[in-house]
Structure formats: structure tokens, C-alpha cells
Amino acid sequence: MPIQQFPTSQFGSDSVNPADPAAPASPDVARAMAAFEAAKSVATAADGAPDANAAASAHECTCGANGVDPADAKRFAKQHKVDDQARGSSRRDAVQKRITRPVHFENASGSYDLEIPFTEIKLSDTPSFTLASGRTVPSKPNAPFYDYNTEGPQTDPKDGLPAIRLQWIADRGDTESYEGRARDLADDGRRAEQRGEASKEWRGAKRAPLRAATDPQTGETKHPVTQMWYARHGIVTPEMRYAAAREDCDVELVRSELAAGRAVMPLNINHPEAEPMIIGERFLTKLNANMGNSAVTSSIDEEVAKLRWATKWGADTVMDLSTGNDIHTTREWILRNSPVPIGTVPMYQALEKVQEDPSKLSWELFRDTVIEQCEQGVDYMTIHAGVLLRYVPLTANRVTGIVSRGGSIMAQWCLTHHRESFLYTHFDELCEIFQKYDVCFSLGDGLRPGSLADANDRAQYAELMTLAELTQRAWDHDVQVMIEGPGHVPFDTVRMNIEIEKALCKGAPFYTLGPLTTDAAPGYDHITSAIGATEIARYGTAMLCYVTPKEHLGLPNKDDVKTGVITYKIAAHAADIAKHHPGARRRDDEMSRARFEFRWDDQFNLSYDPDTALAYHDDTLPAGAAKTAHFCSMCGPKFCSMAISQNIRSEFGGATEQRRLADEVLGENAAGAGVGGMTWDADGAEDEASAGAGAGLGAGAGAGGVQRGVFRKVASPKSSR
């Protein structure tokens, strides 16, 4: 039977399947069983071949001349189809729609109609059901679910995104445009110099760079143009209002956290395409996705595609870590197409400019590279200024030495020149540059442990103490700061790491890579690190840097980016729930309601990855009618506990009815009294409506919670004596 001709009537009919003599009395279970059998036959018919396992058990050797077992080949082909579907985004694109909501805002600079982006997920109705009493409870509409959106408006990459902040910045009247640094083909590497051009120059809109206005008399910057400076001067900017609307919080929380340095908004004035967002412990946990070409792989088009792919799945920021060809031009394409803040490690490009010889690096060359990137619009930069000459020997006996690229480059420079790091000695000059563009420091953990054996050693903490000192120096310039965190840390010391960071760095946002909690699972380091990431975010890390399955093994591809982002969405979300962040559990509650009511499409659509959820479900039950079935292939119709649970409510009523029945058998108040002296007391769930299938979670439950009752203490027979 073709899949599309699946007999949906089997799910809609009230009749018991007459073909199944073992069908139980319950019509729901009978319908479910019939549907399950039919779905199995559909799946087999769709295959067009005997089930591979059945063939194997019958000892029917079907090896072909080419040595490939046809049954295996069939099974692999089917699995590939599922995997291909799971890699895509067609379902996600169809059901998770970007919308914007208007928010009006005024301050002394102007009046603004902000358009705040959200993801809208429409939900189907809770189905109607009939109670044992015969009363039918009608279906109930469910309001759409709204989530944080990071994907930006989808424009032609050749044109780039609209510059939404350009007018906001101009209205403040404290910036000036200027000619900027001259274009140098060396910025794109040796091949561009040989060709005489970058491989794919940006031909979209070009703007002269902006910087903080200078005093014509002194030539000094009038004042920093950082969000921190505005916040400290009591100025609420449109950027702050925008971020508050996304977070659904009071804008004063945004302003005060920025002023205190406990939160950052990485928003270079030369990246007006960025949609304002905030990173801090008091806000939703954010995640960063790394990308960028290397000397051996990737192109500009691929990097732009990866950016769009990562933000589609929820990356809150993206770091362009390109080390290959066309670094400057790749970054230009990325910035002009990025709705999220872009971070870089300018040391990588500086090293390219000296033909990968760290000994040739200099402050002057590094400063020039930083200004180049400031003028392009990079929002935050990793600066490994905490790797001091005297700390380098502390790593000599480590199992894995220095695993940070930036850290190892600076360590080599310090030892080669017998001098202190120019990043440290020129740090105040860096602050003066950053305050002109509102570039945020991401103070790099250049001496982070690269293995559990090296975790929590003197080198790691010596560097962290220097980062704390540098944090205060940056704040003295009104420059925003994040602190990067450890890479590999045993699980039991994860919490200690965040608490030490917060204490030393006075609450500056922590931005951690994982951390990985075991070194033993290459190929699964997105998981080893998400375990640590959840724990460290629970205790206050503000932004997580994702890890992909390719960590330690190779440059991630598009599939790895998706896996990494989804994995870290889960880690960040789990941490937000554990932190009791307001509203963090709404998505879970909507999912739970949909799950109990067998609204399968809503379950797929609410998932962080609808395509994989749908593909996995349809692997065994592909028919359209299975999307309303009261079971899936995991337990099957006879053992679907949620269907049984619904049937219990249909047949025996809600909490009041069930307790009365139990009391009749066991005596007054006996129901549940034997469970540690606690009994279940439903709050408002005692009417008939709550008793039926599909209504147990949905009826009357507010947006905030699924939980319908509270445990109340009852006197145990022993204590009452």
C-alpha cells in the first residue's frame, strides 16, 4: 500500500478493529493497534522489499556478486534517506517563521519604531475528547509559541542586510566618518597579492568608516561611544531597548548591568546591520558558533552560507576564525550579511601578514590589523593579553602544553624576543582604539588547559588573575569586556571555575568553550563539552562557545555546524531552566502538552531541530495518519503509557474521582499516603474536564506551567501516634 493512501479512517473511527480478535475493549487502544499494524505494513510496502532483519533471521543469504549484502544495502539506503532529511532545514523553514513586533521608543536623541524579531511557531488545537460520562469536551485552540530569533532578514548575500542602526548612531551626534585605512592587498594574503585582487571583492553598499568624534582643538576623542559609556551616563539607547524587548525584561536591567560591566552588547558602530543583543548572567544564556576558512579548505561563499546556517539554528554570535586566503574580504562578506555580532582573533590575520612567523610580529603590525577590523565592523575581538612572559614556563610540564593558537603564538614571541607581550604592554592603547568603535574585549584564555591533566593549574589561574587586572583597566576606559574560559575541566571543578572567574573579574561576563569534561571521546566532543557547558552556564557563564563533533579532528562542515549549534542550544536552555530564568520553561511546557495530547506535528515544530525529529519519527511510521496516532513505534500501541494514562482519566475521572475510588478501597485519605507520607493534591484539576484524554495537561494550565498539583504533607500513622 503506498504511503499516501494510508487509511486515515482507522484513526477517526470509533469502531474496534474486527480483524484483530485480541483487540482490547478500549476503543482508543483498538484504534491505535489497528493503526500501528497498518503503518507497519505501509512501511514494508513502501520499502518494496522484505524486511532485512526478517531475511537475516531466516538464514536467507542474499550476498550479491559484489560482496554487498542487498539487505544491508537496502537498510543503509533507508538510513541515508533519514540522515539526509535530518541534515536539512525544510521543515524548520516551513514552520518556524521570523516575524517582527513593533516597539516604540524615544530618548533625547530621537523617536524610534523598533522592529523586534521573534520566531513564531503556530500550534494546532487540543483535540476534543469524550469522557466516560459521555460528555464531549470540545477542542481548544492553542496560541502560537514565540521564541528568540537570530536568523535576521533573509536578503540576497550580494546586497547584504539593511543597516538598521545607522540612523540611531547618527542621531547621537557623537561620531564622525573619515577616510579610513587604505586598502592593502596584504590584508587578503599572499595569493591576493599575486593575483592583484581578492578572489571575490565585496560589491555591495560601501560606507566610509565611523569613529568617535574628535575634538578639533585637541584631536582627542570627545568621549567613548560604547554602550557601557552610555549606560554609565544614564543614557538608554535604542540598542538597549531593542535588547530588553528580545529578552522580555525591563530596559533598566539592561542599562544597569551594562554600566556595572556584568553584561556586554558587542555592537561596533561600523556593523550597523547587527541586531542588538546582550550577554550577561542575568539574561538568556547565549551561544557562539565558530567558523572561518583555513589554508586548506573553504571559500567565501561557503563561509557566508555557514554564517546563515548557524544563525538559522540559533547562534547568537559568530566568530570568524579564518586563517586562509582572502581573510579581509571573507570578513567583509560576513559582516555585511550578519545579523549577529561578529568576533575575531586579530592575531590570526596578523600572523598571516608575517608569513606565519611569530617572531616577526610587532605591536605596530598588530595595531594596524586591529584598526582594519574595527573599521570593517568587528564587534568583539579575542585578545590574549594575559599570556605573560613569566607564565610561559608554567606550561612546560603540561601534558598538552599551550593549546590556544593565540596563546602559543604570544608565548613564542615572548620567549624569542625576551620581552613582555606587546598585547599586555600596549593594552591601554588597545582600549583607546576600542572605545572609538565600541569593540568589546574578549580577553582570551591563552593558557587554558587542553586536557583534564592540565586543568586548574598555576598557568590557568595566573593568567586569569591578569585578565582580572585587564578587565578593570578596560572598564576604566568604558570599554566592554568578556572573559574567555577553560577548555578541558573535570566536571566536579566546573562550578569552581565560574565562581573564581566571577569573584576575580567582578562579574564580567564569562564566555567559555564547553568546557569538555572528558578527553576520551573524539568524535563526540560536542557532547563531552555540552555536559560542562550546561553546568558552567547554570552557575553563571553568560555565553557558551559551541564545540562540534569535529573538535580535535578537523574543520567543521555544514552538518557539524548544525549539530554543534543545536547541542549548545540545548545546553544553554537547560542552564536557563536550572537558573529559573523567567519564562525559560515555556517551550518545554508547550512540548509536554503537545506530547501528551499526541499533537505530533506540534512536537516536531517546537523542537530545536524539527527536521531531525520528523525524520526519526517517520523512519518507522511515515504515514500522514500516524501524526495523530496515540503511540509511536518506541512502545507501540499496547504499551504506550501516555495513551494508557489518558484512558485511565477517560474511564475513571480526574484526581477527585480517582481519589474517591482509592479511598473506597483503602480507606479515607489512604491514596498515596504510603509514599513517604506525601500525597498528591490537585489544584483545580478536579473537574471532569481535566480527566479526559488530551486535557490532563492542557486544560486550565497557564503559559507558565504544566504542573497541575502540589504535594501536601499528610500525617503518617506513626507520627500521628
Nearer to ligand SF4, 434 or 604 (CB): 604
Task: Indicate the residue among 213 and 644 with the shorter CB distance to ligand SF4.
Answer: 644
Shortest CB 26 distance to ligand SF4, Å? 15
- 283 or 596, CB closer to ligand SF4? 596
Of these, 640, 693, 699, 701, which contacts ligand SF4 (CB under 6 A)? 640
Q: How far is CA 254 from CA 80, 224, 578, in A?
A: 47, 19, 21
Determine the interface stretch with ligand SF4 among 333-341, 526-534, 627-635, 673-681 (rule: CB under 6 A): 627-635
Query: Which of 6, 5, 28 minimizes the C-alpha distance to 15?
Result: 28
Q: Is 244 in the site for ligand SF4 (CB under 6 A)?
A: no
CB of 632 vs ligand SF4, minimal distance in Å:
3
Whether the CB-CB separation of 55 and 71 falls below 8 Å is answered with: yes
Supply the DSSP string of 501-556, one letter for each residue. Answer: HHHHTTTPPEEEE--BS-SS-TT-HHHHHHHHHHHHHHTT--EEE---TTTTTS--
Cβ count within 10 A of residue 70: 14
Q: Which amino acid is at 576?
A: D
Cell of 712: 501536601
At residue 314's C-alpha, the angle toward residues 308 and 316, to 5°, is: 90
Q: Contact between 631 and ligand SF4 (CB under 6 A)?
A: yes
Closer by beta carbon to ligand SF4, 37 or else 302: 37
Q: Could you say whether residue 635 binds ligand SF4 (CB under 6 A)? A: yes
Q: Are 602 and 96 in contact (CB under 8 A)?
A: no
Is 295 near ligand SF4 (CB under 6 A)?
no
β-partners of residue 442 are: 382, 482
Contact (Cβ atoms closer than 8 angstroms) between residue 208 and residue 176: no
How far is CA 409 from its chain centroid?
30
Coil, helix or strand at residue 104? strand
**Residue among 205 and 635 whose Cβ is closer to ligand SF4:** 635
Q: Which amino acid is at 315?
A: A
Joined grid coordinates for residue 193: 597579492
Binding segment for ligand SF4 among 503-511, 539-547, 583-591, 634-642 (CB under 6 A)? Answer: 634-642
Task: Out of 296, 634, 665, 710, name the contact with ligand SF4 by CB under 6 A.
Answer: 634
CB-nearer residue toward ligand SF4: 641 or 719: 641
HSE (side-chain half, CA atoms, 13 Å) at 354 = 19
Using CA atoms, how far apart are residues 316 and 327, in angstroms rounded to an integer?
22
Applying CB under 6 A, which part among 37-45, 437-445, 568-576, 640-648 lies near ligand SF4? 640-648
Residue number with CB closer to ligand SF4 (616 or 652):
616
Q: Which stretch binds ligand SF4 (CB under 6 A): 173-181, 451-459, 565-573, 629-637?
A: 629-637
Choice between 560 and 609, CB closer to ligand SF4: 609
* d(C-alpha 30, C-alpha 13), whole Å: 10
Count of residues in the chain: 721
Smallest gap, in angstroms, from Cβ of residue 623 to ligand SF4?
15
Minimum distance from residue 1 beta carbon to ligand SF4 (Å): 22
Stretch that binds ligand SF4, among 234-242, 282-290, 405-413, 626-634 (CB under 6 A): 626-634
Q: Which residue, 71 or 640, has its beta carbon nearer to ligand SF4?
A: 640
Q: Which stretch binds ligand SF4 (CB under 6 A): 394-402, 418-426, 555-563, 636-644?
A: 636-644
Q: By CB neighbour count within 10 A (0-12 exposed, 13-18 middle, 19+ buried), where does 240 fall?
A: buried
Could you tell me the smallest distance in angstroms from the CB atom of residue 529 to ligand SF4? 28
Residue 642 touches ligand SF4, criterion: CB under 6 A: yes
Binding site for ligand SF4 (CB under 6 A): 631-632, 634-635, 640-642
